[in-house]
Structures are given as C-alpha cells and as structure tokens.
Amino acid sequence: MPRLRAWFSRLIGLFRKNRRDAEMSEEMQQHVDLLIERNIAAGMTPDEARHTALREFGRVEQIKEIAREQRVWCWADEFLQDLRFGLRMLRRNPGFFAVAILCLTIGIGTNAAVFSWIEGILFHPYSAVAHEERLYVLAGTSGASGFNQLSYPDCVDLQKNSTLIESFIVDQLIATTLSIGDRAERAIGGLVMPNYFEVLGVRPFLGRGFTPEEGVGKNAHPVAVISYGTWKNRYQRDRDIIGKTQFLNGVRHTIVGVTPENFRGTFVGVSFQFWVPLSMQDTFDPTGYKLEDRGARAFESFVFLKPGVTARQAEEELSAIARRLEAEFPETNRGHGLELLPLWRSPFNVAAEMLPTLQIAAAVVFFVLLIACANVGTLLLVRSLLRRHEMTTRLALGASRERLLQQLLTEGLILSIMATLGGIIVAYWCRNALVLAFPAQAPGIIVNLPGQIDWRVLLASAGVCVLATMVFALAPALQVSKVNLADAINSGASGVVGGRGRSRLRSAFVLIQMSLSFVLIVGAGLLMQSLRQIQRAPAGFSTEDVLLSGVDLLSAGYKPDRAMAFQDQLLERVRPLPGVESATFARVIPFGLRDFSSAPIAVEGYQPGPDERPTADYNQVGPDYFAIMGIAMLRGREFSRDDDARRRLVAIVDETMAARYWPGKDPVGGRFQLKDQWLEVIGVAKRAHYRTKLETTKPFFYMPLRQNFAVQGGLLIRTHETPVAMTAALAEAVHALDPNLAPVAAITMQEHVDRGTYTQRLAVTLLALFGGMALFLAAIGLYAVMSYAVSQSTREFGLRMALGANAADLLRMVMSRGLLLTAGGLLFGAIAALILTGLMGNLLYKVSPRDPIAFGLALIVMITVALIACFLPARRATRIDPVRVLRT
C-alpha cells in the first residue's frame, strides 16, 4: 500500500507540478522567514540575519530538486519538457518537418495498408463472425491431387461422430438470376445449412435466419435471406421486405431475413447477395441432387472448435472418423483424408491465391519503410549542422549526453507519431484499393477484398512507429552525443556535427536507400517478365477470334427438353450471321468461375493401386467445340450432332488421362465407367489448361452435351466480329425466339483468360507502385546529401572558379561525387538482389531469378534517377558568384 500511494502521488504530481512547486516554495520561504526572525531576535541586523538563515537552511534550489524527484517521475517530466520543445522546433521549421513527415507517412502508411489487407483478407476475413479464432476450414485430401471439397453425407457423419467440434458449417457458392419485378439480374449467393447464421453468431438485421426444418426435404423450402447490400440497392431499404418474394432461378422464394451490413458471406473475394437453405440444392445445381451422393465432393466446409481444443487434436479425431468412413464406404472414400486449415490457407476461395501476393507486398513495404527511415535520418543529419550552436551551448551549460540523446529521440518520436497518424489515414483510404485493381467481372459478381483497420493493425502500426524512431533518429542522436565539447568550443562549434564521421553516416544512409531501391526495381522487373510469360504461355486452346456469351435458361424456367430445343434453334440463327465461322455450347467455359464436374471412374483393363481412387474432371460440350477452341484431336474423332441420348455413351479423353490409364496403348475403343454407366472413348484431345495456366495436370475428359445435358451453359462463337457487334446480333436472335430473354454481353476469350492472372498482375502493380515510392524517397535522400555538400563547399567552388575552373568542371566534380555514391549503392544492391531474388523462384514463371534483362532495366532506371537527383545541386554550384563568396 505505501508503494501504491507513492506511485499514485507521483502520477498526480505530473498534473499538479506548478501548484506543488508554488506550495513547496511558500513552505520553504516560511522556514527561512522563521530563521530570519529568530536571528534578528538574537541581535543580528536584517541582512546578517537573512544570510545566516540561508546558510543554516541549506541550498534551496537543490532541496527543491530533491523534493521534486520524490514527488514526480523525473523521466516523465523530462519527456514532457522534451515534447514541448520538439513541438516548438516543429513550428519553427515547418518545411523540414513537412518533408520528413511526408517521407515517413509513405513508409508507415504503406505498411499499415498492407497490414490491413493481410488482416482483412487472410487472418480475419469474417469480421461479423463471433469467435473467428476458432473457425477453421475442413478440406479433403486425395493423394497428391491437392485439396478438395467434401460431400454432404460425409459432413453429416463427421458432425455426428465428432466430440471436439462445436459445430459444422457447409456452404456452396452459386450463381443465379435474381428477378425483381420486371428486372432480372445475375447474383452470387450461397447454399447453406440451416444453422449457418446461428453458428457464425450473425444476427439478421431484419427478420430471421433459417430454421432446422428448412434444411430437410428436396426443394421443399423456397425461402431466402438477402444481404444488406441487396436490401439497400435493389429494394431501396424497404423495412417491410420480410415476407415479400423474389424469383431465384425462376423459383419464387420468400424473403425471411436481411443480414447485417458488415456480413458478406464466407467466400473470401466475393460478396454473397443472398442465401438459401441447402435443401434447395437441386434448384440451383444443374448437375444433379448431391445431398445424398457421398461421391459428390462439392461443398465447402468449416468447423468451430470447442473452447480449449487445438486444431491438431481436432484434426486427429476427424482423420480417425474419415478412416472409419473409408472402411465403411470404400467405393467413394478410398484414399480420401481430411485436414484442418486456418482461414488464410483456404484453397476454396481467393485467400490462398492472394497469400503470395500479400507476402511480397509485406516484404516490399518493409523495404520502403527502411528507405524512408534512412531518408529521414539523412535529413536529420543535415539539419543537425544548423543546430551545432544549440548543442554546444547545452553541453557547455551542463546538459548530460544522455539528456541530449533523449531530447533528439523525442523529436524523432514526434515525427513518427505524426507520420503514423497520417499513415493510418492513408491505410483507411486504401483499405479497398485491391478491389480497384481487380479486373472487370461478369455482371452480378461483387468483388470483396476489404482491408480491416482493427486493434491488431493499430498495434502493429504503433510497433512500426517505435521501430522507425529507433532506426532513423538513433544514429543522428548518437553522433551528436559523441561531441568533443572542448574541440567544439575551440573551433567555434563547427566540429559539433560536421567531420568525416558525419559524412560517412550520411553516405551510408544513401547507400542503403539506393541498394534497397535497386532490389525492389529488380523484383518488379522479374514479376513483370513472369506475368508476360504467363500471358504469352499457351492456354492449350485458342484465345483469338473466340467470343463468349450465353443465355440464362434455367432462371427463365426452361426444362431440359425445351432448353435443348432453344439452344439448337439459337445455333441455327447464330451460325449464318456475318463473320461467324461456327458456334456451340459448353456447360463450363475454361478459366471461369463455375467449376468442372468431378467423379470417380473405373477404367476397363486398368488395375488401380491399393490406395488409388481413379478420379477425373469432365465437361459437357457440343459439336464443333474442339474446332472452335482450337484444341487438336490427336486420335479419333470429335463429337457430332448424332451423339445424343439415343446413341451409345461416348467420351473424348485428353492426353494426360490417356497416358495414365492406357499407358502405351491407343485409348480409342476403350471404355471406362462413370456413375454406373459405361462410356466408350472415341478420341484423344491435346491437353489444355482448364482452370489456370499454372495448374497441375490431372486426367480430364469430355462428354457430348446432348448425352448429359445441362440447362446452364456458355455459348462459344468463332468470329472476327467485335464483342459489341456480336452482342447486338445475339440479342436480336434471342429475342426472335423468346422476347423475355436477353444474352449475356459477349467478351473475348483473351479477356476471359486474363481475369485468371489477377493475382500476378496485382503483385506486379503493387511492387511497381511501392518500388516507385522507394525510388522517389531514395532520390530525395540523394538530393539532400548532394545539396548539403554543395552548400558546405560554396567557398571551395568560389576559389576554384577564381583560379580558372569553369562551370563544366564544377558540374563534373559534383556529379562525380553523387554518382560515386550511386555506384556504391548499386553494387551493394546488386549483391542483395542476387541473394533475395533467389527466394522468388516459386513465384516466377519461366523467368530466372537472375534474369539479366531485369537487372539491366533496374540499372538504367536507377542511374537515370541518380543523374536527375545529382544534376540539380550540381547546376546550382555552377551559378556561384566567386567574388561575393570570397568576400564573405
């Protein structure tokens, strides 16, 4: 208790310092007055009595200092003094502090922005979800084929048998048509379990979530919960929305709830606009009912761990359950395991795709921060020359070197705090900047890649603030604290902050800036070349003279027979159009949002290994698909119009599937089983890329669309016409068949494929942007050093001109000094780049980490910037008046 009272008393003392000082002075004066009166009473004169009283009482000021040390925290009091002095210095030198704060704001702001992206996209993407730290992704594994989704029956069995999992969530991304009155628009939504909102802790803004009864029964519960954005934009904030209906995929759904504004679903990268119960799956999935199919791995799954349970414990239990299911259902579960993944590793949304990009961004902005700190350190060193008289006077009057160091560090902290506040504002403005760089998507897709400014980002920014202060302010402060006072006074204080040591430190800061900037420019060049290689890499199909479009027949209520007739009639109208060479339909377009079907297969004559479960992806395509897409047929024939439901089931396999299941044989004529049906191979197609150009090879086959018809599909047209012209012609053809339908706006296949390289293009954009900032900061630092060197060498330049040197000589001399610094920075930068770019090997595509073109371009850019930064001070040196300089 005495210590607590003393602590509290010192705390209060900081806020009542003046009042307590006055009380203490008054009390001491009373003691002195009593002594004076006593001495006068003893017969002394007033002056003699006063001097004697003061000698008896002791040194008043020293006693006051001792009392102050007992009453307040000295370090806090000194800090407040330094803080007030630093703010006065800021007001006296607004230009210098503005440049320093701008540089630090760039460094700290870029770090805060990237922190917010990492927080909002990877670590805490679902800000509205309660106890998000216990939420994990449940992914299936199958040998070396990577992660896959789970089947609904498996999820139900896992939930029944698990004791460490608090709750399961199952959802599926769907795209459909949302009809409101006479308007029909594309929308992205989710098929979810009835407990979805309850488990996530998301309370609807209006209405309710789903009830347990709405999760059972095939297509028995046409109810929907809409997002806050849908309620605001499409229903104009209608407070009476609950109970009203909307058409989804042509089926009337009753709106039962509206989600809160900050909840956008559980798919990182895309905002859900509505949710329907999982029982409605067959309404939205044209590939068939999957809630009773254990082999249909089509659902993304999440689990909430019970409090105190680790992910490792839960994964071990779930894996044990998966092994029991494998033994019980060998036909569908053989070779399939489970793994718990944190949200930032989810393979089912853009989180995993964004991870490498955000890792690059985090490393780059740290370099930018170091460059900014080195830049401000250089500016502080230059500015310290203007304060040499102040520093010498402080030391001469008795200030300790530690006190001087504390004052300079406090001034640096003021800069950092102001820059951090500005940086957080910048981060807040840039929190949705990644969406701006996202390529245009199909109508109805709302891209959602938000940054999140929460206490973790603020704490990290505060840590960066302290780190920045130590980096840029400590070295100049230490240099000042090492001043030799006697030499400084004897030399008129010119040696306080000048000298060779200071020059070396300034040069070191410039070398750091130039080196790191060179590394960033090289990295940007490497990623740019990698992106170019990805764009140039063949997709395995033609991207020229091919347009994509489509008509949403499922939402219009078309049944399969009617939809097939409509497609045939539309193709008959499209093929004769001017400029059209051929046209066809396909259920899935490569590189699209919709995924291919995947199913176990049994190949005739092929004996799988003990743990092997042959599986292949497939697509349903119409006649002329391979000709339109430019996919070569290696053997056999392409599908024809005669390959319909009345003929035997046939398939075309790609060369990867042929090599795996018919090694050394001709697959044409062979058979394999799919869902209890035997398909005969009639051709082998050259392998193409199906999802991305960087995907691993997997077996793939094609089926005739007319033998396994799907109402939803895309229209492919080979033509030389522009997308705008073809969209108008398609609209006329579609309206002639059904006035209530409209085609999707046509786009080129190249534009469609380019959307798949978003993360690579984003990485290049961010690295180029941050590299440009780093280059700008390095140029400022080099300019500051050269400008100071010119100002300090004015007399030397005047003397040289008086002795016959011309402007070209001075220009050459100054430029050579700056370029010498640049050359040193480039040398160290090249060494660092050779080491660090080796870590980028897994991020580069067909580009060497030591690519000479990237290094050469970076060298040209750096030299150009250095020439500009050095030329301006050098030009000023040539304009010196030697007569005026030598007279001073």
Tens-digit pLDDT profile for residues 655-703: 999 999 999 899 999 999 998 899 999 999 999 988 888 788 889 999 9
What's the pLDDT score for residue 809? 82
For the cut 70, the answer to whether the pLDDT of residue 224 exceeds it is yes
Contact 253, 261 (CB under 8 A): no
Closest by CA to 16, choosing from 91, 77, 78, is 77
Q: Is 223 helix (H, G, I), strand (E, B) or coil?
A: strand
Contact 859, 788 (CB under 8 A): no
At residue 718 the predicted structure's pLDDT band, cuts being 50, 70 and 90, is: very high
Residues 129-141 have a mean pLDDT of 90
Residues 22-30 have a mean pLDDT of 73
Question: How far is residue 63 from each of residues 21, 24, 66, 69, 330, measured CA to CA in Å?
Answer: 12, 10, 5, 10, 89
| Residue 9 vs residue 610, higher pLDDT | 610
Alpha carbons 368 and 180: distance in angstroms, whole number = 50
What's the pLDDT score for residue 62? 66
Question: How far is residue 532 from each of residues 115, 441, 715, 756, 883, measured CA to CA in Å?
Answer: 28, 21, 28, 13, 59
Alpha carbons 263 and 259: distance in angstroms, whole number = 7
Residues 553-576 have a mean pLDDT of 87
At residue 330 the predicted structure's pLDDT band, cuts being 50, 70 and 90, is: confident
What's the pLDDT score for residue 173? 84
For the cut 50, the answer to whether the pLDDT of residue 225 exceeds it is yes
For the cut 80, the answer to whether the pLDDT of residue 634 exceeds it is yes
Residues 203-222 have a mean pLDDT of 90
For the cut 60, the answer to whether the pLDDT of residue 9 exceeds it is no
Percent of the chain topping pLDDT 90? 26
Token pair in block for residue 310:
């680790």
How many CB atoms neighbour CB 145 within 10 A?
15
Average pLDDT along the chain:
83
Q: Which residues pair with 653 in a beta bridge?
A: 684, 701
For the cut 50, the answer to whether the pLDDT of residue 784 exceeds it is yes
**Domain residue spans in the chain?**
2-72, 144-334, 352-535+757-887, 546-752
Contact 190, 265 (CB under 8 A): yes
At residue 888 the predicted structure's pLDDT band, cuts being 50, 70 and 90, is: low
Alpha carbons 154 and 294: distance in angstroms, whole number = 7
What's the pLDDT score for residue 496? 34
What is the identity of the amino acid at 864? T
Alpha carbons 825 and 682: distance in angstroms, whole number = 64
Distance between the two ends of the chain, CA-based, in angstroms? 68
Instruction: Report pTM.
Output: 0.76
What's the pLDDT score for residue 466? 84
| pLDDT per position as a tens digit, 165-198 | 999 999 988 877 776 555 556 788 899 999 999 9
| pLDDT per position as a tens digit, 826-872 | 899 899 888 888 777 777 888 888 889 989 998 998 888 888 888 88
Contact 277, 152 (CB under 8 A): no
Token pair in block for residue 675:
């869902």
Q: Kind and range of the H or E element at 771? A: helix 758-792
Token pair in block for residue 300:
């993304």
Contact 226, 255 (CB under 8 A): yes
- 433-438 long-range contacts (CB < 8 A, ≥24 apart) are 433/113, 434/117, 434/121, 434/762, 437/758, 437/761, 437/762, 437/765, 438/758, 438/762
Q: Give the E-state strand segments of 558-596 in sequence order.
A: 580-586
| pLDDT per position as a tens digit, 522-540 | 988 888 888 888 878 888 8
Contact 374, 367 (CB under 8 A): no
| pLDDT per position as a tens digit, 432-450 | 888 776 665 555 677 788 8
| Residue 255 vs residue 100, higher pLDDT | 255
| pLDDT per position as a tens digit, 744-755 | 888 899 888 887
Residues 6+ positions from 272 with CB-CB distance below 8 Å: 188, 189, 190, 227, 264, 265, 266
For the cut 70, the answer to whether the pLDDT of residue 49 exceeds it is yes
| Residue 157 vs residue 182, higher pLDDT | 157
Exposed, middle or buried by CB within 10 Å (0-12, 13-18, 19+), for 574? buried
At residue 628 the predicted structure's pLDDT band, cuts being 50, 70 and 90, is: very high
Q: Is 609 helix (H, G, I), strand (E, B) or coil?
A: coil
What is the identity of the amino acid at 363? A
Contact 342, 137 (CB under 8 A): yes
| Residue 886 vs residue 36, higher pLDDT | 36
For the cut 70, the answer to whether the pLDDT of residue 710 exceeds it is yes
Question: How far is residue 577 from each of residues 132, 304, 581, 627, measured CA to CA in Å?
Answer: 55, 56, 9, 18
For the cut 70, the answer to whether the pLDDT of residue 66 exceeds it is no
What's the chain's length in residues? 888
| pLDDT per position as a tens digit, 453-509 | 888 888 888 888 888 887 777 766 666 656 555 555 554 434 333 444 556 777 788
Token pair in block for residue 325:
């299911």
Alpha carbons 550 and 568: distance in angstroms, whole number = 13
Token pair in block for residue 690:
């199906």
Question: How far is residue 178 from each of residues 208, 234, 252, 283, measured CA to CA in Å?
Answer: 20, 10, 10, 13
Token pair in block for residue 435:
């969406």
Residues 6+ positions from 813 with CB-CB distance below 8 Å: none
Residues 213-218 have a mean pLDDT of 87
Residues 300-328 have a mean pLDDT of 92
What is the identity of the amino acid at 240? D
Residues 767-774 have a mean pLDDT of 85
Q: Is 820 helix (H, G, I), strand (E, B) or coil?
A: helix
Q: Which residues of 870-888 are buried (b: 16+ CB within 10 A; e: fewer)?
A: bbebbebbbebebeebeee
Question: How far is residue 27 from each of residues 61, 147, 500, measured CA to CA in Å?
Answer: 13, 80, 54
What's the pLDDT score for residue 3? 60
Residues 288-292 have a mean pLDDT of 83
Alpha carbons 48 and 40: distance in angstroms, whole number = 8
Contact 703, 672 (CB under 8 A): no
Alpha carbons 298 and 278: distance in angstroms, whole number = 12
Q: Which residues pair with 141 in a beta bridge?
A: 147, 337
For the cut 60, the answer to whether the pLDDT of residue 417 exceeds it is yes
Q: Give the E-state strand segments of 208-315 in sequence order.
A: 223-226, 245-248, 251-258, 269-270, 274-277, 300-305
| pLDDT per position as a tens digit, 185-194 | 678 889 999 9
The angle at the Cα of 54, spanning 48 to 59, to the nearest 5 degrees, equals 150
User: Highest mean pLDDT: which of 259-263, 413-417, 738-742, 874-878?
Assistant: 259-263
Residues 308-333 have a mean pLDDT of 91
Q: What is the dihedral of CA 150, 151, 152, 155, to 10 degrees?
A: -50
Q: Which residues pair with 652 in a beta bridge?
A: 683, 702
Could you tell me if residue 75 is left (phi over 0), alpha (psi between -120 and 50 degrees) or otherwise beta?
alpha
Contact 425, 485 (CB under 8 A): no
Q: Kind and range of the H or E element at 148? A: strand 147-148
Closest by CA to 869, choosing from 782, 772, 739, 764, is 782
Alpha carbons 873 and 787: distance in angstroms, whole number = 5
- 194-199 long-range contacts (CB < 8 A, ≥24 apart) are 194/277, 194/278, 195/167, 195/169, 196/169, 196/171, 196/275, 197/225, 197/257, 197/259, 199/167, 199/168, 199/169, 199/304
What's the pLDDT score for residue 10? 54
Q: Which residues pair with 305 in a beta bridge?
A: 165
Residues 717-745 have a mean pLDDT of 88
Percent of the chain topping pLDDT 70? 86
At residue 136 the predicted structure's pLDDT band, cuts being 50, 70 and 90, is: very high
Q: Which residues pair with 194 in a beta bridge?
A: none
Contact 136, 311 (CB under 8 A): yes
Question: How far is residue 562 from each of residues 538, 565, 568, 704, measured CA to CA in Å?
Answer: 37, 5, 10, 18
Alpha-carbon 833 to chain mean position:
23
| pLDDT per position as a tens digit, 603-620 | 998 988 877 888 899 999
Residues 253-268 have a mean pLDDT of 91
Alpha carbons 675 and 430: distance in angstroms, whole number = 50
Could you tell me if residue 726 is left (phi over 0), alpha (psi between -120 and 50 degrees) or otherwise beta?
alpha
Question: How far is residue 52 from each of residues 26, 27, 29, 49, measured CA to CA in Å?
Answer: 19, 18, 14, 5
